Structure 1
Amino acid sequence: MISENTKAILLLTSFFTPKEPGSSKILSINEYGYFACWLNQNGYTPVDLLNKDLLENAFSRWKDPSSHAKAKEIVGFSRINNTISSISFERIKSLIGRGAGLSLALDKWQSAGIWIMDRTHPDYPISFKKHLKHQSPALLFGIGDSQLLNKSSIGIVGSRHCSSQDEIATRVYVEKFNALGHQVVSGGAKGIDTCAMLASLESDSTAIGVLADSLFQASASNQWRQYLKNNQLVLISPFYPEGRFTTANAMGRNKYIYLLSQATVVVTSSTKGGTWDGAKENLKNKWVPLIVSTHQEELQAGNKELLNGIPKAQESARPITINDSLNSISNLISSQQVQNTEKSVATSPTVEELSQDDLFSVQEASTDNDVKVGNHDPRIQNESNTEKQPLSSMHKNKAELSITVNEQSEEASQESVASNTNGILSVDCHELLGETPLLKEFYMQISDVLLQQNNRMISKDLLVDKFPEFEIMGKTALDKWLKHLVDLGLLIKPHTRKKEYSLPKRSISTR
């Protein structure tokens, strides 16, 4: 059984039949992102909307402008008033009244092995929430091993219309990335996407396919069936599983390929279309390093333009050739990551460095209805946990809540601190912060940021950007945590008035 809260989110955000796109106006990503935040800030969850009295009560409050103040501040969308006015009682009532259609759709999707994942699921990509925040997909539909979503990946993208030379280059790149321990993530379309995914799968590695349409159809495809059965492949989509191809969805899914990767290679591109637009979007947002193939003597127009530089782009692309050694390719990826770190303290970590749960995630104990839709292990968890304020909820019912701090992330942070070659800091803070695991994780991540920039001073404003959770918790909470770390001697604050911090220039050991 799927949780009632996830059913409510489905009713708000998904179609259930191919004919519905013309009749039902589901909430867009922006609309749901704001609506979910507003519900949380006003003490509601999506499942509450299934209760007639709570639904009426919620929309009575919705009409009060003061009820939107905090949610507006947190979400920060442009044209937010237009978003608010588009969400009406009648619209929501109509959407949640589609229970019969939902039931039939779930039965159909379950028969195909399709699962549904919300933002609280441990395999939901952290990079989505980190970079897209309230514009993260409310749900991901998928088939296959969802644990692959957090495995180290290199994106490979390119035109549907590619030459044999392009395909040869793609297979060479995939072989080298596999040898370096990376799987492939691509879009599952004809051409370069499919070539890259199959090359990885046929070499006994793994792959992720981010589909813009027809997930239900792909679940039965002979092309993917054996790899799905072998747990080598996961196919995901943020869109209705039976939806047809649309240009908007194809453009919209590009960002997810980049955000699931440590770096993405453009094999071939013109100066228009999905590959081109996706590459530009990534450069402008500096999500991950962009690497452009130079396998043809006369570069494709898009490849050439990307290497020459895009106006208003935050980053530049780097070239790669099929003759590059494994060492040079590894250095190419890592050097770009270092370059990104130097340019922005708030840069996102690589996939391997990301923990499976948010820094301040608080999750309820698992229940029997927290399962996947499909023939795999239980995985679905209640969406309301994500939408609630992470720390304030803790104090209301500690007996029912548990704080999840990913051990791998913690170990990675400790190793990063311990391996600092500048001698700035060698810290084991188990005793000092052992009773406060959230604060300990917070400190480890601050240490990583400071060490990456050679312990130059970091301001409070940059920390707010780095940890958007404090927009929800309040900046006073950040002030208290920083003061506590200063009092313990784990951070230094040289100037009384300036809110700037660094690590102490001495070794601290609490072993």
Structure 2
Amino acid sequence: MDRTTALAFELERLEHSGVQTLTPFDEHYPSNWTQRLGSKALPLLYAAGSVKLLDTAGLGVAGSRDVSPSGAEVAVEAAKCASRRRMPLVSGGARGVDQLAMNSAFNSGGAVVGLLADSLSRKLAKNDVRAAIHNEQALMCTPYNPDAGFSAGNAMGRNKLIYAQSTLTLVIASDEGKGGTWSGATEALDHRFGRVAVWRGPGEGPGNEALERRGAVPISDLNDLGQLLDDGDADTTRDTSPLVSESEQGVLFDVAAAS
């Protein structure tokens, strides 16, 4: 009973701070997670923002923190591609490819879903993030304690959620045989958590060719990305028309930290 009371107080505290707690029994808990992940679907999700964004599969983007300028451009253009198709951009909010893609989607008038392996509470303390959430352009969520800091283990466990939440996930740059990007992509390919594409052009990582050999769909022209998205599930489009004017749009994440 003591633990039940403490849990009730904690849920109330989170709700007052704008964080919802979702379980598989809640309406907006992602149905793709239960369908694609089965028993690997995590039982709790802490979310701040428009949880309706979880009802629609988006474009996932994954890649290295230390991305090259060419790879960074691919991340930016891929996010614009999602925005033009009114699809949420799904990523992990980490430095590098994640932040670049999410900022690009935000500044293109699109919506972003950030599946975090870092502290949700700290993310919500940023004025630009709160503004994007207020304008229903962003949903920040984590399956871990909202106050918990980053850990490699959390990032590995979180990666599968990005693939399951996306109609297609584009891996822009990966090392071969190591790192979170490689681990997440190979896990998704091996267990069929979601469709995986891999960039095969300027800015690709040393592991990209190996991901193609393991079954990822190669893309060397972003027009091909658009075609793959159009060939996805028919119900993956939503209206994410620009919710703020260009003069009001800013930077959702600190890209300077990614350079």
| Matching residue of 1:285 | 191
1:311-322 → structure 2 map (5 Å cutoff): 316-321=215-220
| Matching residue of 1:329 | 225
Paired AA for residue 123 in structure 2: A
Paired AA for residue 332 in structure 1: L
Q: Distance in 2 between matches of 1:161 and 1:133?
A: 33
* Distance verdict in 2 for CA 1:165–1:331, change over 3 Å: closer
Q: Distance in 2 between matches of 1:324 and 1:154?
A: 13
1:209-263: CA deviations, max 9, x gaps? Answer: 0011311111112341211110111111111111121211110000000000000
State the Cα distance separating 1:147 from its structure 2 match: 0.1
State the Cα distance separating 1:155 from its structure 2 match: 0.1
- Residue 235 of structure 2 aligns to a residue in which SS? helix
Q: Distance in 2 between matches of 1:331 and 1:162?
A: 25
1:396-427: CA deviations, max 9, x gaps? Answer: xxxxxxxxxxxxxxxxxxxxxxxxxxxxxxxx
| Matching residue of 2:29 | 124
Q: Distance in 2 between matches of 1:234 and 1:130?
A: 21
- Residue 207 of structure 2 aligns to a residue in which SS? helix
| Matching residue of 2:253 | none
Q: Distance in 1 between matches of 2:201 and 2:11?
A: 46
- Residue 329 of structure 1 aligns to a residue in which SS? helix
Kindly indicate whether the alpha-carbon contact (under 8 Å) linking 1:183 and 1:207 is maintained by their aligned counterparts in 2. Answer: yes
Kindly indicate whether the alpha-carbon contact (under 8 Å) linking 2:72 and 2:100 is maintained by their aligned counterparts in 1. Answer: yes
- Residue 77 of structure 2 aligns to a residue in which SS? helix
Q: Distance in 2 between matches of 1:115 and 1:121?
A: 11
State the Cα distance separating 1:105 from its structure 2 match: 2.7
Kindly indicate whether the alpha-carbon contact (under 8 Å) linking 1:150 and 1:351 is maintained by their aligned counterparts in 2. Answer: no
Residue 96 (structure 2) aligned to one of 188, 191, 214: 191
What is the identity percentage for the equivalent residue pairs of Structure 1 and Structure 2?
30
| Matching residue of 2:49 | 144
Residue 141 (structure 2) aligned to one of 206, 212, 236: 236
Kindly indicate whether the alpha-carbon contact (under 8 Å) linking 2:120 and 2:147 is maintained by their aligned counterparts in 1. Answer: yes
Paired AA for residue 352 in structure 1: D
1:18-417 → structure 2 map (5 Å cutoff): 97-99=2-4, 101-271=6-176, 272-296=178-202, 299-307=204-212, 309-310=213-214, 316-321=215-220, 323-325=221-223, 328-333=224-229, 350=233, 352=235
Paired AA for residue 112 in structure 1: S
* Distance verdict in 2 for CA 1:280–1:229, change over 3 Å: same
Kindly indicate whether the alpha-carbon contact (under 8 Å) linking 2:11 and 2:21 is maintained by their aligned counterparts in 1. Answer: no
- Residue 259 of structure 1 aligns to a residue in which SS? helix
* Distance verdict in 2 for CA 1:223–1:305, change over 3 Å: farther
State the Cα distance separating 1:179 from its structure 2 match: 1.5
Q: Distance in 2 between matches of 1:155 and 1:220?
A: 25
* Distance verdict in 2 for CA 1:305–1:244, change over 3 Å: same
Q: Distance in 2 between matches of 1:168 and 1:330?
A: 16
Let me know the Cα RMSD of the aligned residues. Answer: 2.0
- Residue 105 of structure 1 aligns to a residue in which SS? helix
State the Cα distance separating 1:275 from its structure 2 match: 0.5
Kindly indicate whether the alpha-carbon contact (under 8 Å) linking 1:186 and 1:209 is maintained by their aligned counterparts in 2. Answer: yes
Kindly indicate whether the alpha-carbon contact (under 8 Å) linking 2:53 and 2:139 is maintained by their aligned counterparts in 1. Answer: yes
1:423-459: CA deviations, max 9, x gaps? Answer: xxxxxxxxxxxxxxxxxxxxxxxxxxxxxxxxxxxxx
Q: Distance in 2 between matches of 1:231 and 1:179?
A: 17
Kindly indicate whether the alpha-carbon contact (under 8 Å) linking 1:289 and 1:333 is maintained by their aligned counterparts in 2. Answer: no
- Residue 27 of structure 2 aligns to a residue in which SS? coil
- Residue 301 of structure 1 aligns to a residue in which SS? coil
Higher-Rg structure is 1
Q: Distance in 2 between matches of 1:222 and 1:166?
A: 28
Kindly indicate whether the alpha-carbon contact (under 8 Å) linking 2:36 and 2:194 is maintained by their aligned counterparts in 1. Answer: no
Paired AA for residue 291 in structure 1: A
Q: Distance in 2 between matches of 1:153 and 1:276?
A: 20
Q: Distance in 2 between matches of 1:189 and 1:205?
A: 19
Kindly indicate whether the alpha-carbon contact (under 8 Å) linking 2:81 and 2:226 is maintained by their aligned counterparts in 1. Answer: no
* Distance verdict in 2 for CA 1:159–1:284, change over 3 Å: same
State the Cα distance separating 1:110 from its structure 2 match: 2.7
Q: Highest relative contact order (Cα 8 Å, sep 6+), 1 or 2?
A: 2
* Distance verdict in 2 for CA 1:232–1:334, change over 3 Å: closer
Q: Distance in 2 between matches of 1:273 and 1:351?
A: 33
Kindly indicate whether the alpha-carbon contact (under 8 Å) linking 2:168 and 2:197 is maintained by their aligned counterparts in 1. Answer: yes
| Matching residue of 1:481 | none
- Residue 139 of structure 2 aligns to a residue in which SS? strand
Kindly indicate whether the alpha-carbon contact (under 8 Å) linking 2:83 and 2:105 is maintained by their aligned counterparts in 1. Answer: yes
Q: Distance in 2 between matches of 1:319 and 1:214?
A: 33
